[in-house]
Each structure stands twice: as C-alpha cells, then as structure tokens.
Amino acid sequence: MYDIETIAKTPINDIIDPEIVKDIITNPPFVVVDGVVNTRDLGGLSITSPPTDRLLELSKSGSRLVVRSGKLFRSAGLNAIRPKGIKTLNELNIGTVFDLRSIAEVREYAGLPEVDSPDPREGLPLFLEEPENGGIQVTHVPLVDIVRLGREEKMAILLKYGEGEGAYARAYEEILTDGKKSFGSILRYIADQAKGQEGKACLWNCHVGKDRTGVFSALMLSLLGVSDEDIARDYSLTRIGLEPIRGILVEQFKGFMTAHPKAAASLASSDTSSMHEFLHLLRTKYGGSRAYFVKQVGFTDGELDMICEQLIVATSP
C-alpha cells in the first residue's frame, strides 16, 4: 500500500518512481483511456454521511454505502485521445463529455488558430461525436474564456495559486462563482440520466483535470456524503495521474515556472490540504454542497435526493 498523500506532494520537476506510477494508474479508481491521462471513476468511495432518510436507515441497518461505480468520471483534456481510448469511453457507457475549458482554450492546446466563424468548433477534432465512434456528445461548458483574456489578466489568475495560506480556497471560490451555469449543466445531465436504470454515464474534464474538474468532483462527492478525507485523497491522486505527461507540462509552463517558481509549484500541486481548505470554505460560507446546488445553481432538495438515491448503492459490510 502506497502513501498516496506523500507521493502526491512530489514537486512537478521531480520524477515519481515509474513502477509506482504504473501500479497506481492501472488500477481503480484510475481508468486506462488511451491518449487521456488522469482519468478516474468516482465510484466505490464510502458514504459516511448518508444524504437521505432512506439511505440513513440502510446505513444504520449495517449496510455499507458507496458511490455507484461506472457513472461519474473525471479526466484531463481529451485532445489527444486515440481510437482505443474512444472505444473505452463507449465501453464505459459515457454518453456525454463535459469540457470545462473554453473552445478557445481547446483550440489553443489542439494547436489550432482562432477562427472568425459562426461555428467556433470549426476544425476541432470531433471524432468522439461521429456515429461510427459511438456518437459521444461533447458539450463545452466553460467557466471563463481565459484564453481571450489579456496576458496580465491570465497571469493574475495563475498567480492566485501562490498567494500563501488559503490561496486555493480563494481561487476555488472563484471557480464556484464562475461555474454556476457550467456545473448546473453537468448536474442536470446527471439528474436526467439518474431517472432511469439505463442512464448513461458522463465525464467532465479541464486541461489537466485538477482545479475546475476537481472543484466539481468535490461538490458531487460532498453532496453524496463522502468524507472530506476521501475527497481530499481523490483530489491528491491528480499529481500521480499527470506523471505520464509531467515533462510536457513542465515545458508548457517553463516560462511561468522560471519567473514565478513559488506560484508554479503551488499550481502544479494537488496537496490534500488545499482541498481541505476549500471544503471548509464551502461548508462555512455556502452551507455545503447541497446548499450551493440549491441556492446558487437552482436545484431543489427533491432533485438532489433523487440524484443521491440513484448514485449511492448498498454493499455488504
């Protein structure tokens, strides 16, 4: 058994033992998707605070409650996905991929120029949506269009992560504010699919699958009653999940890392303490994830109860 928290603190400039990485990312909760890194199934995590009366009674009767596997997936960007990876997404029954990046950001990392076109997706590789590839819908739900911001504005966003104690909580609170519509779209899909036994799974991603992806993942897991410790541990796995492309990331952010080493080191980190800071803020300032989804996003308690009932299953103790 590995000390995940310690391994996850490895600086982005340092290599993690390849054998350890291989052992971790080829086993649950990781899912191997050819051409995509940091893909994980949120299923299997234990429920410590059952969110509905029926689930609470089940728990009291001795049943162990866990997040249903095969329904909720997270990952880094899918720009480089390969045919074998698309096949895996279909085998996972994923109906929609929600991309939290802006289309301009997607184009930038795909090496495509900006376009002055009625269809901003022009030229994007849309092979996921092709019928012969399963017709997986790709829905762009950007929080903010960071690529179209000026250099100084983009730099200010990145520097927030290096502002010392509480930096992640403050940065992630901005994601909460900017993400109301985006997160609502994903949750609405989850709710619609949860109404039937044959509902599709979904996957959400951003660039590396840590911050925007991590905030929504934390919101979902907290809503379902997963402990802060397990949510933070899931978050910390990102540093390990990104190890296969560590060199690429270091090259991408080389200039920023040279000019702002403290901020860069923090930005590349997925330390459990950062997620604990955020969850504390979510609870104290917003009343928790359920209150956030009700008051900020517009869901009802009844809708959230239905989602929880469908996404939580009882297993043997």
Q: For the domain that residue 198 is a member of, what is the CATH number?
A: 3.90.190.10
Q: What does the pLDDT read at residue 256?
A: 64
* Domain ranges, residue 264: 4-312
Q: How far apart are CA 100 and CA 309, in angstroms?
A: 26
Amino acid at 197: Q
Confidence of residue 23 (pLDDT cuts 50, 70, 90): very high
Identify the weakest region by mean pLDDT among 28-32, 145-149, 190-194: 145-149
Q: Does 165 reside within a domain?
A: yes
Residue 147 pLDDT greater than 90, yes or no: no
Contacts 24+ apart (CB under 8 A), 295-299: 296/176, 296/180, 297/180, 297/183, 297/184, 297/187, 298/184, 299/184, 299/187, 299/191
In a domain, 201, yes or no: yes
Least confident of 14-18, 137-141, 148-152, 184-188: 148-152
Residue 293 maps to a domain = yes
**If you count them, how many residues does the chain have?**
317
**Is residue 281 included in any domain, yes or no?**
yes
Q: What is the pLDDT of residues 224-235, one digit of tens each?
A: 999 999 999 999
Domains contained in the chain, number: 1
Q: Report yes or no on 317 lying in a domain.
A: no
160 belongs to a structural domain = yes
* Continuous H helices in the chain: 4-8, 18-25, 53-60, 83-91, 103-109, 151-159, 167-178, 180-194, 212-224, 228-241, 246-252, 254-259, 261-267, 272-286, 289-291, 301-311
Q: What is the pTM of this model?
A: 0.91
76 within 8 A of 207, measured Cβ to Cβ: yes
The beta-carbon contacts of 123-130 under 8 Å, at least 24 apart in sequence, are: 125/79, 127/86, 128/78, 128/81, 128/86, 128/89, 128/97
| Predicted confidence (pLDDT) per residue in 253-266, tens digit | 777 667 766 666 66
Q: Give backbone dihedrals phi and psi of 103, rounded to 5 degrees, phi first.
A: -60, -35
From its phi and psi, is residue 183 left (phi > 0), alpha (psi between -120 and 50) or beta?
alpha
Instruction: Determine, yes or no, domain membership for 150.
Output: yes
Determine, yes or no, domain membership for 211.
yes
Of 57, 28, 52, 69, whose CA–CA distance to 313 is shortest? 69
